[in-house]
Amino acid sequence: MNQHVKNVTPETTDLSRRSFLVGTAATGLMLGYAGVPGIGEALAAAHANFEPSVWYAIAPDGLVTVTCGKADMGQHIASTMAQIVCEELGAKWSDMRVNLASNDPKFNDPVLGAQLTGGSWSTMMNFDAMSRAGAAGRMALTEGAAAAMGVPAAELVVRDSVISHPKSKKKMSFAEIVRSGKATKTFTPDELKAIKLKTPDQYTMIGVSVPQLDIPSKTNGTAKYGIDVMIPGMAYGAVVTPPVRYGATVKSVDDSDAKKVPGFIKAVTLDDKTQTTTGWVVAVANTYANAKKAAAALKVSYDGGPNAKVSSQSLLDEAKRLQKLDDSGQFFVKDGDPAAARGTAAKVLEAEYTTSINIHAPMEPMNATAEFKGDILHIYSGNQFATRSGAIAAGAAGIDPKFVVMHQMWLGGGFGRRLDADMMVPAVQAAKAVGKPVKVIYTRENDMTMDFSRPLTYQKVKAGVDGDGKLVALSHDVVSAWPTQRWGLPDFLTPSVDKKGPLDSLTVNGSDFFYTVPNHHVRAIKNEMAHNATPSGQLRSVAPGWTFWAVESMIDEIAVAAGKDPAQYRISLLDGAGKNDGGAQRLRNTLLAAMGLAGYGTKKLPKGEGMGVACVSSQERATASWTACVAHVAVAPSGEVSVKKLTVATDVGTQVHPDNIRAQVEGAALWGLSLAMYEKATLKDGGIEQTNFDGYTPLRMSQMPEVAVTVIANGEMATGVGEPAVTVVAPAIGNAIFNASGARVRALPITAEAVKGAMKA
Amino acid sequence: MPMLTINGRSMSVDAANDTPLLWAIREQLQMTGTKFGCGAGLCGACTVHVNGEAVRSCQTMVGDVAGKKITTIEGLSAKGDHPLQKAWVAEQVPQCGYCQSGQIMQAASLLAKNANPTKEEVVAHMDGNLCRCMTYSRIQKAIMRAATEMRTASAAGNERRPT
């Protein structure tokens, strides 16, 4: 349905996402340099910008503007891309600027082959391409300078946007070289690939916490988010959403009262062939305040549809029913025979773990502005998946995706929410209906009740331990809605081990851990009822946010049953045997670092306090940042839990920006805490019950514990940091609660009642 | 049409008296630094000053602030160099940045009255401002840094210092 998306089809026959990520790298590299032909003509024009690659341009005044193809939602990825380019280019940091890319495929991620920001992938997947782009520019500028100065290129030194020739004391700034028009060298993809990049010991920018380029604009009100877009002559749309999350249809719309609202233009009932929304009406008016008044005045009647009676309880009941069926789901991991191994095990354990529905709730409510200009549909919105969202916008407009231009904005929070494109649909159809540009802004109530939420999950884990306390068998069933399958892009699904068709690995990632367990099965079971009633999305860290809740809690339960210290037990499982070689050792080292930093096993704690550990390989085996947490909690006899400290260690391979890594890891850890203790959404009669920050309550400043972060940079490839720490915190807290009080909790969020109920009398 | 005194200028806005100040500022005056977050006074993203007090502009009607002195993030300082704004840069506070105008305006109303707050006073004053990126520890640090600068600056004005 989308020409852009076709680009992501890998040539290999193995469609597993892991090989897809690695296997398309070479193709991506070429796509990334599609701008190289024609550069000669561009340079022929006097005082033109010098554009060594599609990723940046150097203006005649010497300013280097890097175009970031990733969505910047606060992870400062635009600044990071500029920093990587700057390292190899040899520019001065104060000369660097950033620009956010449109959806032109030439700005596609060089590895993903699409514009998609998620998975903590961006630095890892763009480091090489940005480095080569920077180096290519430096080489071209150096040749240009050599020609202009009449000296050998090999004798030139590039530093801080100046190329100098020490022998003759001649020098030229980047600005002068660009103005001279002498920088003309172009690179074929093979030449780019052959460039010898700096080794880490030569870095002067990578590893330095330079001031983030976007921060000043975020302290004075000038940063422009999607909601800030102003287009001459535009109208505003407020959406009226049905009481049922998905599946309702509009029976009738009575706008007689809305017509009395000054500035009211029209009520538009959406006809959403993309099936992203159901039963939505947009009230369009001259201002947003009037649009909201008109929306409140509209009398809409609905057919609630097939999901109108579904509740959280019915989703959980259905999950339990599905899990009990022998033929449910597909296998994600199938090593050995856990059932047989349990038959001969000395001890067998069984537990079920749940997580609630969770809402993204970024601070900037969803919004989009649509403008038809001639044949082209312009969309202004902060979005994490321009490739697909452009196609949804096109679908809503009934035009070919190639006629959609997506204008990227700063994102007022993403966390996976802005991978979705529902906001495009009301903006596009309202703009079409009223014949002028329309900015649609969700109320917080729209935003919460129509979230593509983290799904309710149910997991059942069965374990077998031999006479020595060794873990010999683990069966792990994961029942959830399938967020990624909803995209309708087969390349993002993973073939099942038992060849029962593709599965959504973004529901089970993490369960394929680095512990050595000879008999290990993981089943991914789709909860069709949840999938339909609560269309789910990717929420910061996605599957590892629930799979590690189960795995890391269960490992603790097993260690306790085997009479071992839970941290030492993990270390013994991380032996690096077979397929776990490398990753297991890194995870073990990270766990040891967190233990050391927290004083695990050395600090004497008062009664009622305890420490718990967890360690994770989020996001995926192939893209892991090795992360461990020690949680220190106090548990009152009432069951009230107070988290005193979170100590997080993470192995990121290479640090591009140490301060940013700390900011991301701390934010992620606090997200983990917020999801573990404070955030819960519920479904009743098909609708999300929580509508604003009074009912849905993310962590506030007064609830923040001490957070200590240590970063391990051991020279391996740079990996992502936006998400892994989210996943490690809940199990560490659950394990700490057990350590403090003997109460084992198995449901997120953790409540005082559950803790008290689990305490031994 | 109501007249608003905003950032030292008098401006008329084409909005009914029951229009939330937030939307008049953003749409009629096109000053978009003040953000919409919840529309219910629960998150603090829309915080502005009315006669020096931090208020939620989504809960403040245009008709109620006529003749009062309104300050938005755009008017907090002439060049974006209020001690809090400088501290926000020095501590590299913002991630997505969307809540930060409100955070800074909320913090400014504290420091205007108390340039030497305790950590507890900071938390109590700031607890109504949500940050979904969870930059809370840096917000605290930046407020303390700005407070120190403001105390030093006022001391510099009042006392002779060795040169």
> HEC string of A564-580?
CCHHHHHHHHCCCCHHH
Task: Mutation target for A interface from B6, B73, B86, B95: give the one with most A CBs within 10 A.
Answer: B95
In sequence order, what are the residues at sequence separation of 6 or more whose Cβ sits closer than 8 angstroms to the Cβ of residue A410? A72, A100, A214, A218, A223, A224, A225, A382, B96, B97
Q: Which residues pair with B12 in a beta bridge?
A: B3
Q: What fold does the segment set A226-306+366-441 form as a domain?
A: Aldehyde Oxidoreductase; domain 4 (3.30.365)
Residues of B in contact with A415 (CB under 8 A): 132
Q: Give me the DSSP letters along A330-394.
A: EEEEEES-HHHHHHT-SEEEEEEEEE-BB----SS--EEEEEEETTEEEEE---S-HHHHHHHHH
Q: Which residues of chain B have pLDDT under 50?
A: 161-163
- Whether chain A has a CB inside 8 Å of the CB on B117: the answer is no
Residue A752 dihedral angles phi and psi, to the nearest 5°? -60, -40
Q: Which residues pair with A405 in a beta bridge?
A: A378
Domain ranges of chain A: 48-216, 226-306+366-441, 313-357+453-760
Residues of A in contact with B100 (CB under 8 A): 218-219
In the prediction, which pLDDT does A6 show? Answer: 30
Q: Nearest residue on chain A to B72, judged by CA atoms?
A: A221
Residue that is written with structure tokens 């993903």 in the block: A112
Q: A511 by DSSP, 3-state: which?
A: coil
Distance CA A363, CA A25 (A): 35
How many CB atoms are located within 10 Å of the residue A208 CB?
A: 15
Radius of gyration of chain A (CA): 27
In the prediction, which pLDDT does B158 show? Answer: 54
Distance CA A726, CA A669 (A): 5
Residue A112 dihedral angles phi and psi, to the nearest 5°? -75, -25
Strands, sheet with A706-712, edge to edge from the N-terminal-most edge strand: A609-616, A626-635, A641-651, A706-712
In the prediction, which pLDDT does A15 show? Answer: 25
pLDDT tens digit string along A409-423? 999 999 999 999 999
Distance CA A403, CA A422 (A): 19
Distance CA A496, CA A463 (A): 22
Residues of B in contact with A693 (CB under 8 A): 38, 40, 42-43, 130
Token pair of A173, please?
């700034």
In the prediction, which pLDDT does B1 show? Answer: 81
Contact A115, A165 (CB under 8 A): no
Task: Mutation target for B interface from A208, A218, A448, A726: give the one with most B CBs within 10 A.
Answer: A218
Which of A312, A363, A200, A396 has its CA nearest to residue A690?
Answer: A312
Residues of A in contact with B34 (CB under 8 A): 221
Contact B91, B138 (CB under 8 A): yes
Token pair of A22, please?
């690695």
Per CATH, the number for A48-216 is 3.30.365.10
A237 membership: H or E segment, kind and range: strand A235-240
Fold equal for A48-216 and A226-306+366-441: yes
Q: At what angle do helices A424-434 and A386-397 cross, to 10 degrees?
A: 30
CB-CB: which of B16, B31, B95 is closest to A667?
A: B95
- Whether chain A has a CB inside 8 Å of the CB on B59: the answer is no
Residues of B in contact with A443 (CB under 8 A): 39
> Residue B31 and residue A671: Cβ atoms within 8 Å?
no
Contact A454, A545 (CB under 8 A): yes
Q: Which residues of chain A have pLDDT under 70?
A: 1-47, 761
Which of A444, A478, A450, A394 has its CA nearest to residue A3?
Answer: A394
Burial of A586-601, coded b for 16+ CB within 10 Å and e otherwise, reads bbbbbbbbbbebbebe
Q: Which residues pair with A164 in a beta bridge?
A: A157, A171
Residue that is written with structure tokens 């190289």 in the block: A36
Residues of A in contact with B123 (CB under 8 A): 701-702
CB-CB: which of A221, A262, A701 is closest to B101?
A: A221
Instruction: Report the predicted TM-score, pTM, of the whole model to 2 decimal places.
Output: 0.94
Contact B22, B34 (CB under 8 A): yes
CATH class of A313-357+453-760: alpha beta
Distances (CA, A) of B131 to A311, A596, B53, B96, B123: 30, 31, 21, 9, 13
Distance CA A542, CA A524 (A): 14
Number of H helices, E strands in chain A: 21, 30
Residue A223 dihedral angles phi and psi, to the nearest 5°? -60, 135
Task: Mutation target for B interface from A363, A443, A659, A721: give the one with most B CBs within 10 A.
Answer: A363
Distance CA B47, CA B101 (A): 8
Q: Which residues pair with B11 in a beta bridge?
A: B4
Q: Is there a cis peptide before residue A619, judged by omega within 30 degrees of 0?
A: yes
Residue that is written with structure tokens 């970063």 in the block: A711
Which of A102, A105, A128 has its CA nearest to residue A22?
Answer: A128
